[in-house]
Copies of this chain bind each other. A is one copy, B any other.
Amino acid sequence: MKMRDWWPADVTDRALLVFDLTGVFVFAVEGALAAVRAQLDVFGVLVLAFATALGGGLIRDLLIGAVPPKAICDWRYGATALAGGGAVICFSPLFVEAPIHLMIGLDAAGLALCAVAGATKALEYRIPGLLATLMGVLTGVGGGTLRDLMLARVPNVLRADIYAVAALAGATVVVLGLKFGRSKSWAMILGGVLCFALRMVAVTRGWNLPHVALH
């Protein structure tokens, strides 16, 4: 499963952890910014940072039976999420003025990471393929959904944008890849790149999913 035999597993693990925590930080910043815009107080900002960054993985872990969830067992995840929220509290102008393309790119990378890692973890817990794919999507979009619900809004992911579909594409590639015996690394890289690319193209071109007409 290691990428190459001469590549130390420890380095891969560290790299994955760094990726993972970077994604948590980016999502936490987005949640915190939404909280600031909704005029929550500093406690509310930290709660939304935590929920947005870790909510998707948390719900997935509860559903697949990985209890207690990693976000509750490993303090580095919670600390990173709170650091993201704290950074927004201390330096909010910096984040508001950050180039929008940088934020979108980082968000798409976080989405790809979550979708791919979420589907893989569900398969490791022997969840059937169809539902493992959905668990990948849930990991990617669950945090943002929770954030919108706590702001008493209809989750944006249910209404507009190609966002969940990008996660779905990435998770599907991972599940099919692993079912057909491909190496874990390649399935995850391929799925992640597909999810990232699809999301970036969709944003650039302003793609939306169709709505259903009622009459």
Chain A contacts to B: CB under 8 angstroms: 35-45, 47-48, 50, 58, 62-65, 67-69, 72-75, 78-79, 88-89, 92-93, 96, 125, 127-131, 134-135, 145, 149-155, 157-160, 164-165, 208-215
Q: Is the CB of B47 within 8 A of A158?
A: yes
**Closest chain B CB from A30 CB (angstroms):** 15
- 5 cross-chain CB contacts under 8 A: A39-B211, A41-B158, A58-B63, A67-B67, A72-B127
Is A96's CB under 8 angstroms from B210's CB? no
Given A36-B214, A92-B214, A96-B214, A43 contacting B158 (CB threshold 8 A): yes
A185 to chain B, nearest CB (A): 26
B153 touches A152 (CB 8 A): yes
Most chain B CB atoms below 10 A, which of A73, A88, A149, A212: A212
Which 3 pairs of residues, A with B, have the shortest CB-CB distance? Answer: A44-B158, A41-B209, A65-B67
Instruction: Report how far A134 CA is from B72 CA in the complex, Å.
Output: 9
Q: Which residues of B contact A154 (CB under 8 A)?
A: 38, 40, 150-152
Whether A214 contacts B37 by the Cβ 8 Å rule is yes
Query: In the complex, given contacts A92-B214, A152-B152, what are 12 additional A-B residue pairs having Cβ atoms less than 8 angstroms apart?
Result: A36-B214, A39-B211, A42-B209, A42-B212, A43-B165, A43-B209, A50-B134, A68-B125, A68-B127, A75-B130, A88-B212, A149-B152
| Residues of chain B within 8 A of A125, CB atoms compared | 68
Please name all residues of chain B whose beta carbon is closer than 8 Å to the beta carbon of A78 when the two chains form the complex.
130-131, 134
Complex partner residue of A41 from B35, B58, B210, B214, CB under 8 angstroms: B210
Give Cα distance in the complex from A79 to B134, angstroms: 11
B159, A44: Cβ atoms under 8 Å?
A: yes
Q: Which residues of B are found within 8 Å of A64, using beta-carbon distances?
A: 68, 72
C-alpha spacing A36/B123, complex, angstroms: 32
